[in-house]
Chains A and B, each alone.
Chain A
Amino acid sequence: MNLIIRVVVCACLLLAFATQQLPQTPQQREPGAGTSQAAASPAPSPGPGGTSLPNADPFPSTYKPFPRRTTVIRNATIMTAAGPTIPNGSVLMRDGKIAAVGASVDAPADALVIDGTGKYVTPGLIDVHSHIGDYPAPGVDANSDGNEATSPVTANVWAEHSVWPQDPQIPRALAGGLTTMQILPGSANLIGGRSVVVKLVPSRTVQGMKFPGAKYGLKMACGENPKRVYQTRGPSTRMGNVAGYRAAWIQAEAYRRKWDAWNATHKGDAPTRDLGLETLAEVLRGNILVHNHCYRADEMAQMIDIAKEFGYKIRAFHHAVESYKIAELLKANDIGSAEWADWGGFKMEANDAVKANLAITEAFGARAMIHSDSALGAQRLNQEVAKAMYAGRAAGIPITEEQALRWLTINPAWALGLDDKIGSLEVGKNADVVLWSGNPFSVYSKAEKVWIDGAMLFDRTDSTQKWRTDFELGNVKENN
């Protein structure tokens, strides 16, 4: 009986999604794949695409949590990112949420009990700067979809439309304890387009990965990259870059006013919709968070002034290798600083990179966080943070493990506007949890089990459950 219903459901999906056959492996029978109800509807009626609405969601998330059971991890060192480390504690996950965390936790009799003796538990790690999916592996031209380097302002493009859910880099990042990432357009452009926030789950569609309710981000980029890419047509200088941002915001403000007025009255013909200006108008309305690639301290200060000139907020600077020079300015403007632990020297604007950057940013009270910009770095953000924490201590800044953990969890959650849902082990939050084989700041420790919304999606001790992308079948050996 059940089987018959399933066949009918699948047939409907086949109609809607002719290229997407039956799930290939049990792991890939993801609950949320497919398309939204609206798109599956056969009735030909005019869609909402003709008008520019705040918070429009034309590519809605279809993510559904994976099958899960009530689980309790006992006898582990619990690092919550919300308070002191609990040396011999427990975490209870129920219905996809953290149900209890503490030194002693009551669990129902049917709960799956995992012994965490000698192990550590942290929230799932969060990477605010990824190009996984947009620059997938293998890195061939045919799959290179991260930079729409055809115009210095491409606010009209959305990173999600480039995401390849079969990127083998996704399961590898999950195996490093990563549970949420923001995928951004590249940095060729002054304004690169919209980002997308996804969960690291197997899915045939990007919609099935999208974090429900997450705000969009806007990628902006300072400095060398745009002026190098556009040197023949402009901008070719930093002053040209700044003129480019300002020109875009001037247009965006006019567009916002026009549409806000029309949406209030619906009088007369609607203004013409413009995808790029619509995204920028959403930033001005506070509905989209600005993520600004910017290395140098002086350029960050200028970007802050531009934001004030046009009345938007910068949520976080990324690749902010010189945050340590202006950390008090970042604190005063409540702007996050997403940093590498030790990357530098690869270009002039990265030449003043120091390993104590995160520690000094933190010491001035600004919101510091790690980021990867790398499918390899994303697999060991814990190691990156370990380097930065100990570099801070060596420089005389006594960073605690509790502080360093926040660089991996609650601070990036804040940068994505999701700190009420993820980023710490607190009752009621999503059960995104990592069980580590040892102290996560040791080079020898690995993520052993990873849960997203209470569902165990990675288990290093059980190779039969390993998630292999379509690309890997027949290309990558199974024991790898």
Chain B
Amino acid sequence: MRSILLIYICLIAASPVLAQTIAITNAKVYPVSAPPITNGTVIIRDGVIVAVGDHVTVPAGTQTIDATGKIVTPGLINSLTEVGVVEIGQVRETNDASAKGTNNVAAAFRVWDGLNPASTVFAPTRQEGVTTVIVTPRGGLVSGQAAAIDLGVGHVADVMRRAPVAMIAQIRSASAAGTNARGELIGKLRTLLDDVKFYAAHRPDYDRAATRSLSAPNTELEALIPVLEGKLPLIIEADSMAEIDAALALVRDYKLQLIISGGAEAWMTADRLAVARVPVLAGAMNNIPENFSSLNQRQENAALLRRAGVKVALVGNGDGDENRFNARNIKYEAGNAVAYGMSYDDALRAVTLTPAELFGLSDRIGSLQAGREANLVVWSGDPFEFSTQVEHVFIRGREVKEPSRQDMLIERYKPKPVR
């Protein structure tokens, strides 16, 4: 009897959102999928948004957050992170973003299999308004498969949103791909893609060892089949105009759902990207000719791509660990994008609905509308401004308030008021 009661209590504790209704009222609401609402209300029930608008009736007795003068947006999505797979960059044993693979191909590598949901990076990232991160592998020619993670609290199963959401590859470093020249790298990638097609068509022969030799083991080829079927996006890291054009040539020859990542010089080939309907993950905080592939890197890149009609998701491209410790700073990438020519609405979309669309999440998150999961943030003011504080973060309808390790350190060491 006693144990049954205990189990019942545990069930309640495990589903705190059950039959819970929360209303956020009097806010300026940015649904992103629709124009901003000046004096809006958002109602969340059982983890899901059930109403958004300016004429929404709040049921009597509902727990209400009066957000007068505040702003409500979807939770931000950072499309390029290693949150949960790299804890401390230079501590090797906390690095799980880069697989060994075979001959620089690690397509079968599922980065989320090594995810640490207890990472201390979760809380500070969430506290600054990011509710979902794309966790990406890196390195080699084909790095592996990425996952969408909600920055909630719990086990891997509790924070997983969707996986895989993309396959990652790179063509900006010949040596990292195990080759000596860019042309050799592209050739290696093409051979691999051809072998995937061949393998998919000759599985029985392969199993009988009756095929020609293939450039990668069957586990890697198998993992790439959804990419060749156009079902799983292929993110190719490329920077120079020539590299991006080479990636676009792949789209002509293979049925790929290509996304360019980095794209330092993407603005120089924006029209081609627009025609090919290839989106770009780009930053807005780097204008340095850091290497011979990024000579024309500029902060207006994202704005110019949007102007040409290219879909853009903003990602960090500075050098302050924006994919790890400072994945929280994606809002400032958006603010800087606005300072360098992007429209405000485009910048907000580039950190919410656009990444949700790119990674197949937009039917669940990325906008505020009835039926979407309640990943949302209440801000004291403009989300992109330094002066703004995050006041409430909801993930799947639950307000998450867990402090960060940094909060605890500040609390321990900050000057105490004299009594």
Contact = CB atoms under 8 A, between A and B. Distances in A.
Are A and B associated in one complex? Answer: yes
Contact of A342 (B87, B290, B295, B329): B329
A375 B290 CA distance: 10
Contacts of A324: 409-410, 413-414
B336 A443 contact: yes
Contact of A363 (B286, B320, B332, B415): B415
B121 A345 contact: yes
A343 B326 contact: yes
A442 B318 contact: no
Contact of A346 (B321, B332, B406, B410): B321
Contacts, number: 133
A355 B329 CA distance: 12
A377 interface: yes
Interface string B111-148: 00000000001000000000000000000000000000
B312 to A, nearest CB: 18
Contact of B88 (A325, A345, A386, A480): A345
Nearest to A442: B385
Interface string B291-326: 110011010000000000000000000111100111
A375 B288 contact: yes
A444 B290 CA distance: 24
A317 B233 CA distance: 47
B325 A395 contact: no
A169 interface: yes
A376 B338 CA distance: 18
Contacts of A140: 291-292
A376 B89 contact: no
A345 B296 contact: no
Contact of A360 (B286, B290, B336, B414): B414
Contact of A390 (B91, B339, B387, B413): B387
A324 B410 CA distance: 8
A203 B386 CA distance: 36
A138 B289 CA distance: 6
Interface in A74-93: none
B288 A137 contact: yes
A386 B386 contact: yes
A380 B287 CA distance: 12
Contacts of A477: 268, 296
Interface in A388-430: 389-390, 394-397
A387 B386 contact: yes
A249 B415 CA distance: 36
A348 B296 CA distance: 35
B49 interface: no
Given A343-B321, A443-B336, A139 B290 contact: yes
B289 A363 contact: no
Contact of B289 (A137, A224, A376): A137
Given A324-B414, A444-B335, A345 B289 contact: no
A480 B338 CA distance: 17
Contact of B406 (A139, A354, A377): A354
Nearest to B332: A443
Given A343-B321, A376-B318, A443-B386, A356 B88 contact: no
A244 interface: no
B212 to A, nearest CB: 40
B389 interface: yes
B351 interface: no
Nearest to A446: B339
Contacts of A230: none
Contacts of B268: 477
Residue picked from B286, B290, B329, most chain A C-beta under 10 Å: B290
A441 interface: yes
B15 interface: no
B379 interface: no
B288 A343 contact: no
Size class of the contact patch on chain B: 35 or more
Interface string A299-339: 00000000000000000000000001100000000000000
A374 B320 contact: yes
B292 A441 contact: no
Interface string B399-419: 000000010011001110000
B291 A347 contact: no
B288 A376 contact: yes
Contacts of B414: 324, 356, 360, 363, 395-397
Contacts of B87: 345
Interface string B375-392: 000000000111101000
A440 B170 CA distance: 38
B262 to A, nearest CB: 15
Contacts of B289: 137-138, 168, 471-472, 475-476
B260 interface: no
B295 A138 contact: yes
B285 interface: yes
Contacts of A395: 410, 414
A106 interface: no
Contact of B298 (A137, A389, A480): A480
Interface string A428-461: 0000000000000111111000000000000000
B253 to A, nearest CB: 29
A377 B320 CA distance: 8
Given A383-B332, A444-B335, A172 B413 contact: no
Contacts of A471: 289
A221 to B, nearest CB: 15
Nearest to B336: A443
Contacts of A396: 414
A319 B186 CA distance: 41
A348 B88 contact: yes
Contacts of B325: 342-346, 353
A138 B291 contact: yes
A364 interface: yes
A473 to B, nearest CB: 12
Given A324-B413, A364-B415, A476 B291 contact: no
Contacts of B415: 360, 363-364, 397
Given A346-B90, A347-B89, A375-B288, A476 B385 contact: no
Given A138-B295, A397-B414, A374 B319 contact: yes
A115 B291 CA distance: 40
Contacts of B387: 386, 390, 441-442
Contact of A376 (B88, B319, B329, B389): B319
A374 B320 CA distance: 9
Given A347-B88, A351-B88, A354-B406, A342 B288 contact: no
A187 B385 CA distance: 34
Contacts of A352: 409
Contacts of B291: 138-140
A443 B324 contact: no
A476 B287 CA distance: 11
Interface in B78-128: 87-91, 121
B282 to A, nearest CB: 15
B29 to A, nearest CB: 22
Contacts of B290: 137-139
A436 to B, nearest CB: 12
A28 to B, nearest CB: 18
B386 A390 contact: yes
Given A443-B336, A444-B338, A343 B320 contact: yes
Given A345-B121, A346-B321, A444-B335, 6 more contacts: A172-B288, A324-B413, A343-B320, A356-B410, A360-B414, A480-B296
9 contacts: A172-B287, A340-B320, A344-B325, A345-B121, A354-B410, A374-B318, A390-B389, A441-B386, A477-B268
Closest 10 CB pairs of A and B: A345-B325, A443-B335, A386-B386, A347-B90, A346-B89, A354-B406, A376-B318, A138-B291, A363-B415, A356-B410
Interface of A: 137-140, 168-169, 172, 224, 324-325, 340, 342-348, 351-356, 360, 363-364, 374-377, 379-380, 383, 386-387, 389-390, 394-397, 441-446, 471-472, 475-477, 480
